[in-house]
Amino acid sequence: MPGKISELNECLRSQSVPWLLLFDIDGTLVDTGGKGMVALRKTAIEIFGNEGPPLDLAGSTDLGILENLHTHFGTAPCAERTHRFFETYHFHLEAYLSSSPSEGRVLDGVVELLQDIAVAPHVKPALLTGNTMQGASIKLRHYRLDHHFSFGAYGSDRADRNLLGHIALERALAHTGHAYTPERTLVIGDTPKDIACAHAVGAKCVAVATGQFSKDQLAAAGADWVVSSLREISCR
Ligand SMILES: [Mg+2]
């Protein structure tokens, strides 16, 4: 049973305690209007000769997606193909985003929450995303959110999203000098995989129903809090 968001907001407003907020990107901060999917399919055709099986992008890491394509096509992963795959993907992603800039959007409440955080010195925002570091940067730059984030854990670090929480905490220490504990870390994401990766590191998850999953589905997946949009979260 998810907790009351008013109680979480009260904790987040208490300036005596530092918080690390780890944001997912797709379905949480932005909706790219399917540009990521189209870019991945086009890349699969160019690298593997065929777009392959239906891609499950919800909460998956980009390295995990490439692993699935290797399994599907019976090819062995190698550094050269991995490099070529992501170089091609980043090229198409940037091209698709800039070719139809009016499609896709920043999701409800995101700008307001990030602006709140920017003037709340006790709250540090970072990324925990299945996107590669460069893919994350392309998407956030396109939607003008990149200046809010100085580090993160990415889908180019590990194929298994459940390993990304530890990496995020290590990078938080390296970037801020503060050793954030899992108890003072919140993962904010839109899929059951975000919830699982928060719990894998001992953190809690605020699940937001702005992606493919309903509030009921996110609650059933064990989210610690569930919101309709990030408008409901406040740290000031
Ligand atoms: Mg997502």
pTM: 0.95
81 CA → ligand 1 middle, Å: 26
CATH 3.40.50.1000 spans which residues of the chain?
5-32+105-232
CATH architecture of 35-99: Orthogonal Bundle (1.10)
Whether the pLDDT of residue 110 is over 90: the answer is: yes
213 CA → ligand 1 middle, Å: 10
Rg (CA), the chain: 17
Whether the pLDDT of residue 47 is over 80: the answer is: yes
62 CA → ligand 1 middle, Å: 12
Whether the pLDDT of residue 55 is over 80: the answer is: no
pLDDT in tens, 148-207: 999 999 999 999 999 999 999 999 999 999 999 999 999 999 999 999 999 999 999 999
Q: Write out the two tokens for 183.
A: 């108890």
Tell me which H or E stretch contains 205.
Answer: strand 204-208
CATH 1.10.150 spans which residues of the chain?
35-99
CATH of domain 5-32+105-232: 3.40.50.1000
208 CA → ligand 1 middle, Å: 9
Backbone angles phi, psi at 10, to 5 degrees: -60, -45
Whether the pLDDT of residue 101 is over 90: the answer is: no
